[in-house]
Amino acid sequence: MASAANSLRLCLRASRQISVRPAASPFLRRALTTTAAQCARPGRKKGWKDPSDHFEFPEPYGDKVFNDLGEQLRYSLENDELTEAERETVQRALSEWENKPNEEKLEEQQIIKEIDKEFAPLRAPVRARRNAFWNAEEQDTDLITDEVGEDDFEENDMMAMGHAKLEEHREYREYARIAVWEMPLLSKFAKKFVPPKDNEVLRFRYTTYMGEFHPADRKVVVEFAPRDLTELTEVQQGKLCKLAGARYNPEKQTIKMSCEKFELPAQNKRWLGDTIARLITAAQDPTDTFEDIPLDTRHHKFKNIPKYPKEWYMSEQRKNELLAQREESLKVDMKKRRAHDLIDGVKLIQQGVLSAVKEKEPTMVRVKAR
């Protein structure tokens, strides 16, 4: 309820006439002063409060109180700066008011007073309490429900987590029901996959977001291989690839293009079809066949996927080969071992050390000093 009242308040505020106040008289500033401008202002007493501190809705005519509508309209005609049309409207309203019988005037006045009285608390601005921490006790007038005491547990129900678990189960069961009862019915709509025929070259892709609005749901993508366009010669196909520019994928040898210019998928598809038709006619144009221009593939990054080498696959033949090699090498070793030709690093090192020890170390000899 509070939110309805609030919106009403906002409406009233918007439709209110804004007063045209006379501009503040320009007061002279001293050329050189150390006093703050505010304090130097005349007519301000000690208890004066800046109106910006506590905001209130500005009354259109200041503190002036009108007894009835006629008075207000008359005042407006005399004092406000109005355009011709406004003046006419006000004049008309005034004459209408003056022509009304007195009872009606009184009644209307009464109604206005009552409305004002009713809305007085709503018009009062909501002010944060000075000592409140993070405005904790502030009322949220925008909320529909009354939050007070909502989280209190009254010992007569499951906890919230229990409810959540139950909700989860309900969801499971709902989908299980759909799977059992409704999904099988979908098979009626199943269509058999028919591979595209030779003359069906273009492959379109549409996007649907299952009825939801999405900015990309109008997008249509078309992909086709220039090779499949059999009415084109090889040179013309090459020209088509070159015309397609960065839309040509040299690895898959396809051209892919998309359109989301227009509002409807059908329009986008039409545009794509037209573009492809124009491309083909341009490719068939014999005045320049683009044969002297090499195909530009700078836009495409070729992926080098290393493959397991064929020679490394183990086959029966390869196994036999390896076995034969091993036998051969064993034979070579055996032959060398028998001939004592096999070289043993450890043994050779020992021999070397022994022969080094056998060599006599040089000794000091006493020589007569000269």
* Least distance between other proteins and beta carbon 285 (Å): 23
Please count the other Cβ atoms lying within 10 Å of the Cβ belonging to residue 210. 6
Q: Is 168 in the site for other proteins (CB under 8 A)?
A: no
Report d(CA 169, CA 158) in Å as an integer.
15
Residue with Cβ nearer other proteins (126 or 324): 324
Contact string 307-336 vs other proteins (x = CB under 8 A): ----------------------xx-xx--x
Closer of 116 and 321 to other proteins (Cβ):
321
Residue whose tokens read 């005491």: 149
Size of the site for other proteins (CB under 8 A): 19
Look up residue 179 and give its DSSP letter.
Answer: I
Tell me the C-alpha to C-alpha distance, in Å, between residue 31 and each of 37, 39, 56, 156, 202: 12, 16, 35, 76, 81
Among 10, 106, 282, 342, binds other proteins (CB under 8 A): 342
Q: Which stretch binds other proteins (CB under 8 A): 34-42, 120-128, 156-164, 345-353?
A: 345-353
The pairing of beta strand 203-206 with beta strand 248-249: unpaired
Nearest to 251 by CA among 327, 302, 194: 302
| 266-268-269 Cα angle (round to 5) | 65
Smallest distance, Å, CB 34 to other proteins? Answer: 47
Contact string (CB under 8 A) for other proteins, positions 214-233, x = contact: --------------------
Q: Are 213 and 260 spatial neighbours (Cβ–Cβ below 8 Å)?
A: no
Q: Which is nearer to other proteins, 211 or 345 (CB)?
A: 345
**What three-state secondary structure class fits 255?**
strand
Using CB under 8 A, which of 30, 49, 197, 298 touches other proteins? Answer: 298
Q: Which is nearer to other proteins, 165 or 337 (CB)?
A: 337
> Hunting for tokens 């009184």 — which residue is that?
106
Nearer to other proteins, 215 or 345 (CB): 345
Name the residues that contact other proteins, by CB under 8 A: 294, 296-298, 329-330, 332-333, 336, 342-346, 348-349, 352-353, 369
